[in-house]
Amino acid sequence: MAEQGYSIEEIKVGMTARFSKQITVKEITLFSQASGDTNPMHLDPGFASRTRFKGCIAHGMLTASLISTVIGTQLPGPSSIYLQERLKFIAPVYPGDQVEVVTTVVAINQRRPIVTLESKCMVGEKVVLKGESKVMVE
């Protein structure tokens, strides 16, 4: 990978990148402050304990932001620009969960130059989020 990320000519269908991160209460709190999403489902253990989740859960978009980490730092990497993201939230992420993102190139349009990627976020073997991204490669 070049310092500015992969060029469109270097990217191949099937290329994969991974990133793993533990989601902490501190990160959930900071995400809430940055986004303005103060839903007590994420921040208030008393409130959240009375829900079907039985405790606080991470913001779905916090989990989804880990896909952006892979795209912006690894594949395609620096200088890539997000154009579109489709997300499907499947299961909650709890404080303390280790989330692994696996992102794979599924299509390339060299003329435009746009790459389509599929991502999944997993906690252990359980898929908690799926996404499809379209990214412009500089």
9: in domain: no
Q: How far apart are CA 49 and CA 75, in angstroms?
A: 38
- Residue 67 within a domain: yes
* 10 found inside a domain: no
Q: Is 9 helix (H, G, I), strand (E, B) or coil?
A: coil
Torsion sign, CA atoms 118, 124, 125, 127: negative
Q: Please give the chain's pLDDT, 138 residues, in tens.
A: 446 789 999 999 999 999 999 999 999 999 999 999 999 999 999 999 999 999 999 999 999 999 999 999 999 999 899 999 999 999 999 999 999 999 999 999 999 999 999 999 999 999 999 999 999 998
With respect to residue 55, please indicate whether it lies within any of the assigned structural domains: yes
Q: Which range of residues forms the domain containing residue 56? A: 16-137
Instruction: Examine residue 83 and state whether it is found in any structural domain, yes or no.
Output: yes
pTM above 0.85, yes or no: yes
Number of domains within the chain: 1
Q: Specify if 1 maps to a domain.
A: no
Q: Is residue 69 part of a domain?
A: yes
Please check whether residue 111 lies inside any domain of the structure. yes
